Chain A
Amino acid sequence: MQLSSISKRYGGVQALSDVSIHVNAGEILCLVGENGAGKSTLAAVAAGLVAPDSGKIFVDGEEVVLNSPRAAEIAGIRLASQELQLCPELDVMTNVLLGHYPHKKLPFLVDYASMKQKAAERLASLGLEDIDLHQNVGEMPVVYRAFVQIARSLTPGAKVLITDEPTAPMSDIEATRLLKLLKTICDQGVGIVFVSHRLDEVLNIADRVVVLRDGKLVDEMNKNEGNKERIVSSMLGHASVDGVRAGSTTNENSEVAMKVENLSTANGIFDTNLTLKFGEILGVYGIAGSGRDSLGMTLFGSNKPTSGKIIVGGNELKLGSIKSTMDIGIGYVPAERRAQGLLLERSIKENITLAFLRKLSKLGLIQKKSESASGQLWADNLSIKTKNIENAVLSLSGGNQQKVLLSRWLLTGCRILILDDPTRGVDIGSKLEIYELLQKLAHKEKVAVLVISSDIEEVLKISDRIEVMRNGKITLSKTNPTQQEVARAAYLEEAS
């Protein structure tokens, strides 16, 4: 398969520009890059899920037009995507042959005997004999589902298999097995495009490595030329990040806002310590699965840690209670704006006042005037672009929606603000406005701001201090680290 000069634009974002890759039969090509570098878009283009704005695709030297997943399948391209596409209520053998059931003489009668045999053959050819054909997929451990997914995608005629971060939820042992599986498939003459964040795996398995950055192909290396340092430096580029960090006024004596001691959770945080001071922005960076993703929710009391302490204002915070967390003056802007933050059909005003409504009421009656006044005040303060705060929040752009969420917490007057990926899916203009706002909050109003982010540039740009997480632990804790240091800690280093 060959992808030639592929470009794709989403709104104002150039997701891919002029990217060409090829993968030969029986070869493993690894695709690496930061979040938003264009890996998933490229995979989607190859699988016929997304139509490129320009560029050509060739399979076996012939040009093909992949305008639907079906067209890609006919061309021999198979995608095992990040979100598993399996039916959890059906058993393994049905899932493996989903949509390709063998039938008896009458086409509507499924031939279960031959189905079982075919499914067993497919699994055996991949070295997956130990998977029970009759187990429901929904009852299997998540990591095994990835194996079933791959077995399912390898229908006859498969020439290229694209796997998008299959190892993200896996432990090392399981990941090793998956890599072995990919090697087996590759030995059968199928070309593999493997997308991963884990550089060890990549180096272990790849015949060639392609590095994407900001939608561009920035580096390509053969197995023997590849090493972690080179990959990391290509991923990040050498673009210097202009430090806007000036203005930090914290020092050793600044008052501690929140102290986290030996925090562990059931969802990926192990024995973590953090100190957040008033008047600073503390940035926490980590890749997916590093524990960074569940830190914010845990600190906000959404789920109960298995052990550890959170100390705010000299008192131990009651763990796992959003109410106590809010009462003590902590606000939280979640990562998933639409799923976790907004009431999309309700007005901007109602979304702003949601967490503070009780204070804007007397005896349970909403004080209309003070509600409108507060809503308007914060819409103006954050220059939310709307003609009327009674408009549905749905009508706003992503950046303005994010500002609505921010004002929800600023209105409560919280002294500690935790933000998960505060600029995800936000246009560049709003991004800068949000950064400015956070800096003003921390440096002028002495709010303690904790920014948890999957965007390395963001963390470097706005944080006064940076903590990096990897495998559930803090691997770096430093004032003004370089990009290289942060990247090393996030990708390479094991916590001591």
Chain B
Amino acid sequence: MSRKQDKETISGDAKRKIDFGSFFRRQGLLLMLILMIIFFRFQSPEYFFTFDNAITILVGATALGIMASAQTPLIISGGIDVSVGSVVAITTVIVGKLLATGMSSWLVVLIAISIGMLIGVLNGFIVVQLGVNPFITTLGTMSFFSGLAFILSAGQTVSIRDPLFDWFLYTKVFSIPVLVIIVVFVMALAYFIERKTVVGRNIFAIGGNKEAARLSGISTKMLPLGLYVVSSLSAAVAGVVLVSQLGSASPQLGTSYLLSVVTAVILGGTSLAGGRGSVAGTAIAVGILATLSNGFAQMQLPSYGQTTALGAALIIAVLVDQTSSKVKNK
């Protein structure tokens, strides 16, 4: 093929190919989710496919969904935050401690969330202002704050009975729990910001080519800093959600979220290199993770099997993505 023809094919088809790539990726994920649902449906015919179970799955996905919605734009911008698990831990411990003093539960929630945000400010400051690699920074703060959570709580689990937290857990609107409404709202908001706003566009620009963004007058400091704050904020909110779901506060609560948040985002098609990704993909990936955990529980399989399955799915999904982007670049 001559060079000229080659060029024409590329310019004509590039858009279609790129769209096809992400479409295929998106549909591939959706297909994965549907296959999983069918599989579990036959494994557990009388229960899995019920409304109640669907709600259970969604409630189970609340904390992960909230954190992944905030992590997605952060990773698109070229950053990453692996400290969210420790923010969950420290938030729950603070909630437990403060409630024990008899403080108003609204105030407790407010304080816990503010502390979470402060950790985000710290992460953001170290990464953006001091220029430390984001992975290393948040690895450090993760270790620091999860240790602090253990010190503060002396490793104890405190059980919590409080009207506000019970309200969170039990209130339903049209038989849909308020927690589900919250996570759907958060995801919708993240999707809206990603697709419709200047901020969303700038996040892609910074992640795609930071220098080009800077030379186009986009603030390449304030926006990333804000994303770290939002990520920690989401973890603090997730902490409060978990306290109400479990009725207890423990420094161990966050450990399971150490990597599952980042996993959900990557599985959803967001590139760790930045510049590419979507909240919609993340939402499906969160659905996959939650369904997997629900299905495994019903089949009474060991929960370790879940992480094995997830690991395999993650690598396959990323391979599919890389192959399609190679095709695209040819």
How long is the Cα–Cα vector from A408 to B217 in the complex, in angstroms?
A: 12
A300 touches B204 (CB 8 A): no
Contacts of A361 in B (CB 8 A): 197-198
Instruction: Tell whether, in the assembled complex, residue A365 and residue B275 are in contact, meaning their CB atoms are under 8 Å apart.
Output: no
CB distance from A391 to the nearest CB of B (A): 4
B305 CB to nearest A CB, Å = 37
Q: Report chain B residues within 8 Å CB of A109.
A: none
* A 313-352 binary contact with B (CB < 8 Å = 1; else 0): 0000000001100100000101000011111111100100
Chain A residues with Cβ under 8 A from B15's Cβ? 347, 388, 390-392, 395
Could you say which residues of chain A place their CB within 8 Å of the CB of B11? 385-387, 391, 395-396
Question: Which stretch, B49-57, B96-104, B207-215, touches the partner chain A?
Answer: B207-215
A11-B3, A343-B212, A408-B216 given; A392·B14 CB < 8 A:
yes
Q: Assuming the A-B contacts A323-B217, A387-B11, A391-B15, are A350 and B201 also in contact, with contact meaning beta carbons closer than 8 angstroms in the complex?
A: yes
Interface residues on B, range: 20 to 34
A394 to B276 Cα, complex, angstroms: 15
A364 near B: Cβ within 8 Å? yes
A357 within 8 A of B: yes
Residue on B nearest A358 in the bound complex, by CB: B198
Does A13 sit within 8 A of B, measured CB to CB? no
- Beta-carbon contacts under 8 Å, B2-38 to A: 3, 7, 10-12, 14-15, 18
Given contacts A361-B197, A391-B11, whether A343 and B217 have CB atoms under 8 Å apart is no
Give Cα A392 to B208, complex, Å: 13
Q: Is B326 an interface residue (CB 8 A)?
A: no
In the complex with contacts A341-B212, A343-B212, A395-B11, A364-B217 CB distance below 8 A: no
List residues of chain B with CB within 8 A of the CB of A334: 215
Q: Is the CB of B205 within 8 A of A343?
A: yes
Q: Which residues of B contact A396 (CB under 8 A)?
A: 11
A143 at interface by CB-CB < 8 Å: no
Interface check A302, CB cutoff 8 A: yes
Contact assessment for B216 and A355 in the assembled complex, using a CB-CB cutoff below 8 Å:
yes
Residues of B within 8 A of A300 (CB): 215
State the CA gap A341–B212 with chains docked (Å): 5
Whether, in the assembled complex, A377 has its beta carbon less than 8 Å from a beta carbon of chain B, the answer is no
Query: Nearest Cβ in chain A — how far from B194, in angstroms?
Result: 11
Closest to A334 in B: B215
**Which residues of chain B are near A366, meaning CB under 8 Å?**
196-198, 201
Closest Cβ neighbor of A408 among chain B residues? B216
Complex Cα distance A332/B276, Å?
Answer: 26
Q: Cβ of B136: which chain A residues have Cβ within 8 Å of it? A: none
- The chain A residue with its CB closest to the CB of B271 is A345
Interchain CB contact (< 8 A) of B208 among A11, A332, A343, A365:
A343
Q: Are B198 and A343 in contact (CB under 8 A)?
A: no
B residues less than 8 Å from A388 (CB atoms): 15
Inter-chain CA distance A347–B208, complex, in Å, is: 12
Complex alpha-carbon distance, A391 and B204, angstroms: 16
- The yes or no answer to A397 lying at the interface (CB within 8 A) is yes
A residues less than 8 Å from B309 (CB atoms): none
- Answer whether residue B199 sits at the interface, using C-beta atoms and an 8 A cutoff: yes
CA distance A386 to B11 in the complex (A): 7
Within 8 A of B (CB), among A345-383: 345-347, 350, 354-355, 357-358, 361, 364-366
Bound Cα distance from A496 to B83, whole angstroms: 59
- Between B18, B198, B215, the greatest number of chain A beta carbons within 10 A of the residue's beta carbon is seen for B215
| C-alpha gap A361/B215 in the complex (Å) | 20
The answer to whether B14 and A391 touch across the interface, beta carbons within 8 angstroms, is yes
Chain A contacts of B276 at CB under 8 A?
345
Complex-state Cα separation, A344 to B205, whole angstroms = 10
Q: Are B215 and A341 in contact (CB under 8 A)?
A: yes
Contact A345–B216 (Cβ < 8 Å): no
Distance of A341 Cα from B215 Cα, bound (Å): 8
Shortest beta-carbon distance from A279 to chain B in Å: 25
Q: Is the CB of A339 within 8 A of B217?
A: no
Closest to A397 in B: B7
Assess A340 versus B197: contact at CB under 8 Å? Given A345-B275, A392-B18, A396-B11. no
- A386's nearest neighbour on chain B, judged by CB, is B11
Establish whether residues A343 and B204, one from each chain, have CB atoms under 8 Å apart when the complex forms: yes
Closest residue of B by beta carbon distance from A385: B11
Docked-complex contact B211 and A355, CB < 8 angstroms = no
Known pairs A365-B196, A365-B197, A392-B18; A346 contacts B10 (CB<8 A): no
Chain A residue contacts of B196, Cβ below 8 A: 365-366
The minimal Cβ–Cβ distance linking A167 to chain B, given in whole angstroms, is 28
Residues of chain B lying within 8 A (CB to CB) of residue A322? 214-215, 217
Give the one of B12, B196, B202, B217 with max A CB within 10 A: B217
For A359, the closest partner residue in chain B by CB is: B198
Residues of B within 8 Å of A340, CB to CB, are 209, 211-212, 215
Residues of A within 8 A of B14 (CB): 391-392, 394-395
Choose among A342, A387, A394 the residue that contacts B12 (Cβ–Cβ < 8 A).
A387
Query: Which residues of the partner chain A approach B215 to less than 8 Å between Cβ atoms?
Result: 300, 302, 322, 332, 334, 340-341
B218 CB contacts on chain A under 8 angstroms: 354
What are the interface flags for A175-188 relative to B under an 8 Å C-beta threshold, 1 for contact and 0 otherwise? 00000000000000
CB of B78, distance to nearest CB on chain A (Å)? 12
Chain B residues near A345: list those with CB within 8 A: 18, 208, 275-276
List the B side residues contacting A350 at CB < 8 Å. 201, 204
> Which chain A residues border B3 with CB–CB below 8 Å?
11
Minimal beta-carbon separation of B29 from chain A (angstroms): 20
Find B201's partner among A332, A357, A397 (CB 8 Å cutoff): A357
Closest to A353 in B: B201
Contact B211 A354 (CB under 8 A): no
Which residue of chain A lies nearest to B218 when distances are taken between CB atoms in the complex? A354
Instruction: Please tell me if the beta carbons of A354 and B197 are within 8 angstroms of each other in the complex.
Output: no
Per-position contact with B for A217-229: 1 when CB-CB < 8 Å, else 0? 0000000000000
A49 to B249, CA, bound (A): 63
Cα A34 to Cα B202 with chains together (Å)? 39
Residues of chain B with a CB closer than 8 A to A354's CB: 205, 212-213, 216, 218
Q: Which residue on B lies nearest to A323, using beta carbons?
A: B217
Q: Within residues 1 to 24 of chain A, which ones have a CB less than 8 A from any CB in chain B?
A: 11
Taken together as a complex, chains A and B put the C-alpha atoms of A394 and B202 apart, in Å, by 19
Render A284-305 as a binary contact track against B, CB cut-off 8 A, 1 for contact.
0000000000000000101000
Q: Which residue of B lies closest to A351 (CB)?
A: B212
- Find chain B residues with CB under 8 A from A326 CB: 217
* Chain A, 236-254, CB within 8 A of any chain B CB: none
Measured CA separation A59–B215 after assembly (Å): 49
Task: Please state if B208 and A344 are interface contacts (CB–CB under 8 Å).
Answer: yes
Q: Is the CB of A395 within 8 A of B197?
A: no
Q: Which of B161-211 contact A (CB under 8 A)?
A: 196-199, 201-202, 204-205, 208-209, 211
Contacts A322-B214, A397-B7 supplied; 20 other A-B pairs, CB < 8 Å: A302-B215, A323-B219, A341-B209, A341-B212, A342-B209, A343-B204, A343-B208, A343-B212, A345-B18, A347-B15, A355-B217, A357-B201, A357-B202, A358-B198, A364-B197, A365-B197, A385-B11, A387-B12, A388-B15, A392-B18
Return 5 A-B CB contacts under 8 Å, by A number. Answer: A341-B209, A354-B205, A357-B198, A395-B10, A395-B15
Chain B residues packing against A (C-beta within 8 Å)? 3, 7, 10-12, 14-15, 18, 196-199, 201-202, 204-205, 208-209, 211-219, 275-276
Which 10 pairs show the lowest CB-CB distances between chains A and B? A395-B14, A355-B216, A343-B208, A391-B15, A395-B11, A326-B217, A354-B216, A340-B211, A364-B197, A361-B198
